[in-house]
Structure 1
Amino acid sequence: MQSRLASLVEAAVNVAIGFVVALLTQMALFPAMGVRLSMDRHLLIGAVFTLVSLARSGVAGGR
């Protein structure tokens, strides 16, 4: 059985990897669609979508 700390670390790593993958994807896709953004805007968009994903999964909602 996995400890609570190991579960927390696993969840944090999954979120971090997902954020980086999403960020790299939008940085490649947006310019191809004619959308040019600064790095701080890319980070903001990635953070918003990460928070939405966490809320949707129930993590941020305390489930």
Structure 2
Amino acid sequence: MKQSRWMSLVEAVTNVLVGYGVAVATQWAVFPLFGLHATLQQNLVIGLIFTAVSLVRSYLLRRAFEAWRVKAPAAAAPTALCHRCSTTDVPQNSPAPSFR
């Protein structure tokens, strides 16, 4: 089943909102380890900037993979099955393949 653009956006937004909370908490804990001291407000703004970038990235990747998924089955479909060995594109009167 194909995922609609709207559901791709809903999934991306949900993923990014959860990620935003994790990012801000991680920044709050990790920044001091590297000598970076940001206020809570600064951490929230930094998190929002990265969240916006992440939202766009997530949506574009989802759409690219959805387009790839929709196109892939037609290109990957076998054209014929060999009655002896179940491999594709082998004429029925050819000898069975040898595996060494």
TM-score by length of 1: 0.69
Question: In the alignment, which residue of structure 2 is the partner of 1:53?
Answer: 54
In the TM superposition, what whole-angstrom CA distance separates every residue of 1:14-53 from its partner, at most 9, and x where no partner exists? 2221000111111111011111111110000000001011
Give the total of aligned pairs: 58
Matches within 5 A, 1:1-63: 7=7, 8=10, 10-57=11-58, 58=60
Structure-1 separation of matches of 2:56 and 2:17:
15
Q: Which runs of 5 or more residues in structure 1 are unaligned?
A: none
Higher helix content, 1 or 2: 1
Tell me if structure 1 keeps the 8 A contact 2:16–2:54: no
- The one-letter amino acid of 1:39's match is L
Q: Which runs of 5 or more residues in structure 2 are unaligned?
A: 65-100
Identity value in percent: 44
Moved segments of 4+, more than 6 Å? none
Q: 1:12 to 1:55 in 2, by over 3 A?
A: closer
Greater relative contact order structure (CA < 8 Å, 6+ sep): 1
Q: Tell which structure's C-alpha radius of gyration is larger.
A: 2
